[in-house]
Structure formats: C-alpha cells, structure tokens
Amino acid sequence: MEELKEQSKAEFAFLSSYYDSSLVSWFFKPFYKRIAEEVQRLPRRRILGIGCDTATLEILLTRSFPDSMIIGLDLSRSMLEQARKKSAGLTNISFIEGDAENLPFPSESFEVVRCSHSFHHYPNQKKALSEMHRVLAPKGTLLLADGLKDNFLGRCWFFLVERIFEPGVLHFSSRALHEKMAATGLSNISVKKLMFAYGIIRAHKI
C-alpha cells in the first residue's frame, strides 16, 4: 500500500513544475468550473480540497468566495510549493502536506470537502472515504470527481490507465463508489456524468 503512495509522490514531484501548462491540467478545467458551480449552491464557511495539486481550483474558490476559508491538502510537497507560490497574497487559503487516508483535522471541520482526480491514487479508499466523512460537518457535502467504469469506453480506458499509464491506481463504476460511500455513512448520493467516462459524485453527511 505504501508503495503506491511513494509512486504518487515520485510521479507528482516530477510533474509539479510543468503541471499547470500540461494537457492534463487543461483537461481538468471543465471539472473545476462544474465543482465551483456546485460549491456556489452550498453552505461553505470552511472548504477542504484533498489532492489539491497546484491549487488551481482552490484559488478559484478563494477568489469566488472571499468569506470562506479554503484549505488545500496534498501528499506532494512539490505540488504544494507551486500552490503556495500561485496563491501568494491571498489571505483565505492555506495548504497542508498530508495523506487523504489520515486527514490531520478534527472531526466536523468542513462544510464542503472536494476531491477531484486524486481518489484513484489512494490504496485504502475505504479509509479515505471514512476520513472524508469524519471531517465533514453535519449536513456537509462531499464532491468527488474521478474516472468511472460505467460504460464500455470507460472500462477499456481505465483498463489501459490502471495497467499502462498509472499502474496500481484504482477506478470503479459509480455504482461501486456509491456502495463504498453509503458504507461509510454518506447519504443522498448522486452522480453527474462528464465527458466520456468521468463524473462528479455528490454525497452528504447526515
């Protein structure tokens, strides 16, 4: 399990200096817009971004919601160095190096937790979901965006991703994710499909 985390650290340390100008970052832009629209509709005094990388979305949220406090957490120190440079001068944002499977926050700390395109890197996804549930305040919302093995194209694409492009990462169908979320106590779970095999899953803490 720790092996996959070391692999993530090495992968993202390598990518960090040119991540924002990469195709991958361009691909994420529509997700940022959709997540920001979702956050707009929610109570959002404190927002946590898990796997925030260089914090493009966290900075967008910081500017859109100046009365919210935004915290970005990532396993990669190099990604966070870029995030800190990009957000210099902004006062309602801060960053912390940490692991999604062991969040360094007291329970019920955030109204919104968002995690996009990072969940498939976690070897113990059950633990990560239970940590997300723990740090959400009552009636808080989790927004989780990732690749979904819901159709033929998605199953073929993530077969290649898991075996060739990012060996060891774990993608699921939205049904399987729904079950994992419900098992941690999250409820009112819904999926918005995006692009050919991706989606944003929204879930709530009672």
Contact set with ligand SAM (CB under 6 A): 5, 8, 12, 28, 31, 50-53, 57, 74-76, 79, 99-101, 116-118, 121-122
| Dihedral over Cα of 87, 90, 93, 95: its sign | positive
CB 206 to ligand SAM: min, Å: 25
Question: Both tokens of residue 141?
Answer: 């919302």
Q: Nearer to ligand SAM by C-beta: 30 or 43? A: 30
Q: Nearer to ligand SAM by C-beta: 53 or 187? A: 53
Q: Which residues have C-beta within 8 Å of that of residue 34, sequence separation ≥ 6?
A: 145, 192, 194, 200
Widest Cα–Cα separation across the chain: 46
CB 127 to ligand SAM: min, Å: 10
Residue 177: closest CA among 168, 167, 186, 164: 186
CB 91 to ligand SAM: min, Å: 22
The C-alpha atoms of residue 206 and residue 204 are separated, in whole angstroms, by 6
The C-alpha atoms of residue 72 and residue 169 are separated, in whole angstroms, by 22
CB 90 to ligand SAM: min, Å: 17
Q: Which residues have C-beta within 8 Å of that of residue 177, sequence separation ≥ 6?
A: 144, 146, 148, 201
Q: Nearer to ligand SAM by C-beta: 100 or 203? A: 100
Cβ–Cβ under 8 Å, residues 100 and 72: no
Q: Nearer to ligand SAM by C-beta: 75 or 113? A: 75
CB 152 to ligand SAM: min, Å: 24
Q: Nearer to ligand SAM by C-beta: 164 or 206? A: 164
